[in-house]
Structure 1
Amino acid sequence: MIYLTQLIFVKEGKEAVFHQFEEIAIPIMADYNGKVVYRIRPGKESFVSYEEEQPYEIHFISFELEQDFKNFLKDPRREEFMYLKEEAIKSTFLVKGTKI
């Protein structure tokens, strides 16, 4: 099992486009043994301290195998809508780990 934490930074005014992409991409994860464990949209009051821009959303996801995650990224249904992701997302920060 692998776990991924993704901090997502959305371009101002592109939140609805980001949501469109998520509505397509998240259900596809199940076809690759993946799931969203937590999907968090923190408000400014949620941060005790920070030195950089605050993320729009934080996703904590899991896949049975790393290859499942790689296959998900290459899924043709997801790739068909990558233009939405590219339009909406300024940047992401991805951390990969395992349960200990």
Structure 2
Amino acid sequence: MIYLTQLIYLKPGKETEFDAFEAVAIPLIARYGGQLLLRIRPGAGALIAGEGSPPYEIHLVSFEAEKDFEAFGKDPERAAFLHLKEASVDRIVLIKGIAL
């Protein structure tokens, strides 16, 4: 089992495009044996260490194996909507881990 934490930072004013992408992508996670365990939006008032703004969203996702995550990333239905992700996401910090 692998766990992925994503800190997702958006371009200003691109929330609608990002939400449209997620409406397609999130349901596809289960097709690849994955599960969205946590999805939070910290908001502008969130306390963060260092400088900068908090991420728009934080996701915690699990997959049985790395190959399942990679297959999800190549899903053709998801690929058809990647233009929305590219238009809306400034950057993503991806943290991979395993349960101890």
Q: TM-score, normalised by structure 1?
A: 0.94
Matched with 1:10 is 10
Gaps of 5+ in 2: none
The percentage of aligned residue pairs carrying the same residue is 50
Q: Distance in 1 between matches of 2:13 and 2:43?
A: 17
Q: Shift in Å at residue 48 of structure 1?
A: 4.9
Matched with 1:81 is 81
Q: Distance in 2 between matches of 1:44 and 1:28?
A: 29
Q: Distance in 2 between matches of 1:99 and 1:47?
A: 26
Q: Distance in 1 between matches of 2:45 and 2:61?
A: 24
Matches within 5 A, 1:5-84: 5-84=5-84
Gaps of 5+ in 1: none
SS at match of 2:54: coil
Q: Shift in Å at residue 46 of structure 1?
A: 2.8
Q: Distance in 2 between matches of 1:76 and 1:49?
A: 38
Q: What is the aligned residue count?
A: 100
Q: Distance in 2 between matches of 1:50 and 1:44?
A: 15
Which portions of structure 1, spanning 4 or more consecutive aligned residues, are displaced by more than 6 angstroms? none
Aligned-residue Cα RMSD (Å) equals: 1.1
Q: Distance in 1 between matches of 2:61 and 2:28?
A: 13
Q: Shift in Å at residue 13 of structure 1?
A: 0.5
Q: Shift in Å at residue 82 of structure 1?
A: 0.3
Q: TM-score, normalised by structure 2?
A: 0.94
Q: Shift in Å at residue 43 of structure 1?
A: 2.1
CA separation of 1:79/1:56 partners in 2, compared to 1, >3 Å: closer, same or farther?
same
